[in-house]
Amino acid sequence: MRLHHVQISMPRGEEDEARRFYGEALGLQEVQKPPSLVGRGGCWFRAYDGETIVAEIHLGIDDPFSPARKAHPGLVCESLRELEATAERIGRGGYELSWAERDTFERYIRFHARDGFGNRVEVMTPTARK
């Protein structure tokens, strides 16, 4: 068994904001939803390792909307350089970002961010093994 995707809620009509955070700031690639699901709203994003899909996030409409304050996807960057570049893009986008728990998860460096709807996202990279 493997994980196919994580679903995150978003408010109706806010797809452009989802693209700004998940596409531009986080660096994921938007993919087309299947024709049978397009009418529901929302949008889907993927990360690739070459041609292999390594992460997929589906943003779906939740009416009424309430952000996930604790539940979150955890995304892994390949290097500290990639992690810091991702944090820089998120910060430049004006999104909430915190390194407060940077070294609190053994063998990882991480930060937490909030998308434009208040949902939590964790981004991390493995530390060098000793």
CA distance 129 to 51: 28
Alpha-carbon distance of 43 to 130, in angstroms, equals 41
Phi, psi for 30 (deg, rounded to 5)? -70, 140
For a pLDDT cut of 90, what percent of the chain falls above it?
Answer: 94
pTM higher than 0.85: yes
Homologous superfamily of 6-126 in CATH? 2,3-Dihydroxybiphenyl 1,2-Dioxygenase, domain 1 (3.10.180.10)
Closest CA to 20 of 113, 99, 105, 100: 113
**Residue-level pLDDT at 128:** 74
pLDDT digits (tens, 9 = 90+) for 75-114: 999 999 999 999 999 999 999 999 999 999 999 999 999 9
Using the predicted structure, report yes or no on whether residue 130 has a pLDDT greater than 80.
no
pLDDT at 129 over 70: no
- The domains of the chain are located at 6-126
Task: Classify residue 105 by its DSSP letter.
Answer: S
Section 10-37 average pLDDT: 97
